[in-house]
Amino acid sequence: MDGWQETEIRVRYAETDKMGIVHHSNYLIWFEAGRSDLCRARGFSYKEMEDNDNALMVVAESYCRYKSPAYYEDVLSVRTRVAEIRSRSIRFIYEIYRPSDDTLLAEGETLHLVTDQSKRVRQIPDIYKERLAAEELVYAEAFPANQAPS
């Protein structure tokens, strides 16, 4: 899919409940894996931002809509893209998809404020803004601020 960074995940036994269905909390962990891969694909890592530029991406909002269950041993694709970049925040959107049966399992988003080590909100360093904006942004796909999708 054009514009999406894709990360492959294989569901581990520890990520499932007694019925063999993935526990809902894992989807946010997979969002993080997708987000980290997207940053690396754009030429930097969270660690680089933190260590070199005193810039931490703090989760301020998260949302996940579950559409269909995932099961132990499923191979999934976490699709991640940047939806919005502002002076001090970045919004990412996600889809978790099972290619074997062409099923969308979950969709969501996270909003991140950039802070320094002292937890003070700060401007996003230009180098990261430029790298994250390297692909076309898709504002229309992001959920409205302060409002869960209907």
- Classify domain 5-135 at the CATH superfamily level: Hotdog Thioesterase (3.10.129.10)
Write down the pLDDT at residue 124.
97
State the virtual CA torsion across 34, 64, 145, 90 in degrees, nearest 10: -10
Q: Which residues contact 13 (CB under 8 A, 6 or more apart)?
A: 72
Residues annotated as catalytic (active site), given as ranges? 17
| Residues 118, 115: Cα–Cα separation, whole Å | 8
- Percent pLDDT > 90 in the chain is 85
| Residues 93, 31: Cα–Cα separation, whole Å | 9
Residues 8-34: tens digit of each pLDDT: 999 999 999 999 999 999 999 999 999
> With 90 as the cut, is the pLDDT of residue 91 above it?
yes
> With 70 as the cut, is the pLDDT of residue 143 above it?
no
